[in-house]
Structure 1
Amino acid sequence: MKSLTDPSQALSAGLAKIRTEFHVPDGFPPNVIASAEAVARRVPSQHADRTAIPYVTLDPASSTDLDQAFSIEASGGDLLLHYAIADVAWFVEDGDAIDLQAWNRGETLYLPDGKAGLYPPLLAEAAASLLPDGPRPAVIFTIRVAGDGAVKLDGAERAVIRSRAKLAYDSVQPSDVPAGFAELARRMAANEERRGASRVDPPEQEVERLADGTFRLSFRPLLQSEQDNAALSLAANMAIADAMLAHKTGLFRVMSGPDASKVQRLRNTAQALGLSWPASTSLRDYQRTLDPTDPRQAALMLEIRRAGNGASYQPYQEGVVPWHEAMAATYAHATAPLRRLADRYVVRCALAIANGQSVPQAVTDAFARLPKVMGRADARASQISHAAIDLAEAVMLKGHEGETFKAVVTDFVDHGVRVQLADMPVVASVKASGLRQGDGLTLRLISADPDQRSVVFESVTPA
């Protein structure tokens, strides 16, 4: 990892430019703020009292928009996950000023120097957030996790909870979390393996603002605590998806896998990277063996993710089983309603069907509109993330023009190759020919332009 001191404020200026270019909202209109101030004072009146149950949250240390809290108990050989999700719908009504603004945004946008929330901070980081500073309204989903990791939605209710602790990924200890946390994660992982799930979690290239005002660009693999915590959301999202499908309603997250030609290209990439991929081993099975801390295996994991067709949203359709290839399951997004618009409606749907009620017509109508809205929001979030990384790479390399860098070819692009620098978390494209994936080469930096968010290398000689 390398810190960016940014003495010229090039990164700060570039981030401001990104916000303008991608129309990142700056705050909220006065009418939305006024509405948030009013609804934040709403006292939960349709909620059971579950404040005696010891819930905790687990998130990045700096997070304040806390969607989920959890408690776990044993039930014979099963585990019961009591998964409390922020009850956003208690504060936001269909067609009000807050709701209309959320439909314009789609999701929270994250940049290294701050975020543009889906909802005003007074709600997302205070009244609706499951912080440990007081009781909060929530929707509690009870998920039964069997010994083999099979999941079932046992019930759902509106309730008031009180989080006992705000735990952080980088400091949480086994004694901090409820008993059964690690076992539940183990069961879900074993179930994924039996299903043949092919989730790929390569290290992410990210720009992080440090406490001293500098920035750091790095490849960051997931911590074990993050992976275990993700298992809770996975259990809830799968159980809720199955329940919606059984009731012939819902909004699902779907994704198809790479076709045969892309799988063969991935096999070629593995060979070029010096990795052994037996001919009898499927992509699903092979990628579960990859280690994200190994640079060459991490490079292949990134290529596997690029080879996928991308996930999207799909409302229920009669006779169609919605399928998420990477999850090898029917899947939905329900566990982050403070950050994703679609989740608020999935939560409302699941709450209704779990209690034998009809799904509100407004929710069904929203399911038809949400795929387009969420697709547009996801695309903008991805563009912003890539722009921030391109900017950080240019800032990091500015002043090093003329220097040489060792790199490895990871893929082919138009008129050249994509490379990974050996000693920096930088991915770039270079005009070159006659190279194979996995080949090493030496590059000379020609230019690094933070204003254009571009870096230009030329190939000097094979490394």
Structure 2
Amino acid sequence: MLKVSGPLDFAAIRAEFDVPEAFPPDVLAEADRVAAAPPLPDHDATDLPLVTVDPPGARDLDQAMHLARTATGYRVSYAIADVGAFVPLGSAVDAEARRRGQTVYCPDGRTPLHPPQLSEGAASLLPDQLRPAALWTIDLDAQGEVTAVDLRRARVRSRAQLDYASVGERLPAELELLPEIGRLLQARARDRGAIELGTPSQEVEPGPDGGWTVVFRGQSDVEGWNAQISLLTGRCAARLMLDGGVGILRTLPAPDPGAVEALRRLAPGLGVAWPEGAGPGEVIATLDPATPRHAAFLDAATSLLRGAGYTAVDGELPAEPGHGGVGGPYAHVTAPLRRLVDRFGTEVCLALAAGQQPSAELRAALPELPALMAASDRRTHAVERAVVDLVEATLLAGRVGEVFEAVVLDAEEKRSTVVLTELAVQARCDGRLTPGDVVRVRLTQAGPATRTVRFEPA
């Protein structure tokens, strides 16, 4: 594995994109006060054997889960960190969270949305700790369709902090139904026309002997099933909001028919079967991202998922309230420690589930969220891209002129995008190539100072 052995200045990238670092003193003081006396709801659900599943070493634990079989199907108990109990509207922590928008992750650490004494302490669903939570209880029938939803504030205690690899090796009793329920929910998603690309993401990881390297990381089965529980909860939240006429939805237009038709025309050339009457989600679900031509097809399929945003609802319902990737209405409510909008969505749902209307102060804040989250998303994506570009350029800095094997992902009139088969590097290549082809390319530029990597056909 090729790696960068020297230090890289990720802090300079954060500074370049104005990522807020240190918390102001008044924010830290307020967080200290509320963390010292966590607010605990009256409803006691500490007998529920919840567990968390996160990457190893995570401390900002948003969700804890328990799965059970019922006489007619399944019960999903999903506890979400009750950040709203710690962060009142108008508080100093609230104002700072609106400035940040979301937690920003870099290889050398995270820049949290909330002060660590909350995000990694009093509000986090750490094991063996009494915590306030928004507890979703979702009943499913034998086919995985929702039959009942309950949401309330509750005190909970997670039994264990698990990671994806350990759960994949041995399912604990609390999650033994995860594969069964996860596959059912995946099947229902395909029925709705949901589009789940499943393409590996580029990530910077520590090298085996120190330093940094770039890898492609795909989603494991456990991560996919776990994501389905989160998506299920987000769909239930959106239903509550639409029925109540108030909330904040995560929206994405349905795929443009022209884009679907262009993808359909591309399929034969990449060896992708598209049966008559099948939707793009059904076709994509059959593909293997490790196959070069399938990878090129999946890269092209990202054109179907453009235009995601947030839509505030208060009174009049939006004409298109759905999310094209999910295949129906959806809201972000399951990651409030790491994403600003989830706290507001959860507070709306808690009020509606109790038969009440959200407060005037909460309703007044909803229209501000789409712009706040859009700005935060742009900053976060720019940081993530810059980090990968820096490591790629540094990895290849001494190899200009060398020839590499690559797979062509896409092509425009005068340039293409290729991904190397030797390294997890994705970059521009001069000239128009054929998507899905395995080609040889020569490195012409690798500049760490400009974070630039370029190739040409060899």
TM over 0.5: yes
Cross-structure match for 2:226: 229
Matched, 1:105 2:100: yes
26, 31, 37: which one aligns with 1:31: 26
Matched, 1:398 2:393: no
Instruction: Tell me if structure 1 keeps the 8 A contact 2:296–2:410.
Output: no
Cross-structure match for 1:93: 88
What is the 5 A alignment of 1:288-307? 288-307=285-304
Matched, 1:189 2:213: no
Cross-structure match for 1:378: 377
Q: CA deviation at 1:262?
A: 2.3
- Select between 138-147 and 181-190 the one with higher mean Cα deviation: 181-190
Instruction: Tell me if structure 2 keeps the 8 A contact 1:148–1:190.
Output: no
426, 437, 440: which one aligns with 1:439: 437
CA distance in 2, matches of 1:376, 1:399: 36
CA distance in 2, matches of 1:153, 1:313: 26
Instruction: Tell me if structure 1 keeps the 8 A contact 2:296–2:436.
Output: no
**Cα displacement string for residues 352-377 of structure 1 (whole angstroms, at most 9, x for unaligned residues):** 11111221122211211101111111
Instruction: Tell me if structure 1 keeps the 8 A contact 2:40–2:132.
Output: no
CA distance in 2, matches of 1:126, 1:218: 31
Distance 1:268 1:218, change over 3 A: farther
Cross-structure match for 1:242: 239
Q: Quote the RMSD (CA, aligned, Å).
A: 1.9
Instruction: Tell me if structure 2 keeps the 8 A contact 1:221–1:293.
Output: no
What is the 5 A alignment of 1:249-264? 249-264=246-261
CA distance in 2, matches of 1:267, 1:148: 30
Instruction: Tell me if structure 2 keeps the 8 A contact 1:203–1:298.
Output: no
**Cα displacement string for residues 5-30 of structure 1 (whole angstroms, at most 9, x for unaligned residues):** 323x2xx12x2221111112222111
Letter in 1 for 2:131: R
Cross-structure match for 1:66: 61
**Cα displacement string for residues 260-318 of structure 1 (whole angstroms, at most 9, x for unaligned residues):** 33234323543443333346533222111112233332332232124421311011262
Distance 1:338 1:23, change over 3 A: same
CA distance in 2, matches of 1:379, 1:421: 27
Q: CA deviation at 1:414?
A: 6.0
CA distance in 2, matches of 1:283, 1:428: 27
Cross-structure match for 1:143: 138
CA distance in 1, matches of 2:333, 2:190: 23
Q: CA deviation at 1:218?
A: 1.1
Distance 1:341 1:177, change over 3 A: same
Cross-structure match for 1:50: 45
CA distance in 2, matches of 1:342, 1:179: 31
Q: CA deviation at 1:3?
A: 4.6
Letter in 2 for 1:377: S
Instruction: Tell me if structure 2 keeps the 8 A contact 1:419–1:429.
Output: yes
Aligned residues, how many? 454
Instruction: Tell me if structure 1 keeps the 8 A contact 2:390–2:448.
Output: yes
Instruction: Tell me if structure 2 keeps the 8 A contact 1:47–1:157.
Output: no
Cross-structure match for 1:454: 452
CA distance in 2, matches of 1:371, 1:90: 23
Q: CA deviation at 1:121?
A: 0.8
Alignment identity in percent?
A: 39
Q: Which runs of 5+ in 1 are unaligned?
A: none
Instruction: Tell me if structure 1 keeps the 8 A contact 2:201–2:216.
Output: yes
SS of structure 2 residue aligned to 1:339: coil
**Cα displacement string for residues 203-223 of structure 1 (whole angstroms, at most 9, x for unaligned residues):** 111112357532231111101
Letter in 2 for 1:259: D
Distance 1:25 1:3, change over 3 A: farther
Q: CA deviation at 1:74?
A: 2.7
Letter in 2 for 1:454: T
CA distance in 1, matches of 2:127, 2:294: 40
CA distance in 1, matches of 2:436, 2:183: 34
**Cα displacement string for residues 174-200 of structure 1 (whole angstroms, at most 9, x for unaligned residues):** 135434322221221121122221122
- Select between 260-269 and 218-227 the one with higher mean Cα deviation: 260-269
CA distance in 2, matches of 1:89, 1:67: 13
SS of structure 2 residue aligned to 1:381: helix
Distance 1:269 1:424, change over 3 A: farther
SS of structure 1 residue aligned to 2:364: helix
Q: CA deviation at 1:455?
A: 1.1
Q: CA deviation at 1:32?
A: 1.0
SS of structure 1 residue aligned to 2:321: coil
* Runs of 4+ more than 4 Å apart: none
Letter in 1 for 2:425: V
CA distance in 2, matches of 1:319, 1:67: 29
SS of structure 2 residue aligned to 1:4: coil
Letter in 2 for 1:162: R
Matched, 1:175 2:172: yes
TM-score (ref. length: structure 1): 0.93
Instruction: Tell me if structure 2 keeps the 8 A contact 1:198–1:328.
Output: yes
SS of structure 1 residue aligned to 2:440: strand
Matched, 1:158 2:156: no
SS of structure 1 residue aligned to 2:161: strand
Q: CA deviation at 1:45?
A: 4.2
Q: Which runs of 5+ in 2 are unaligned?
A: none
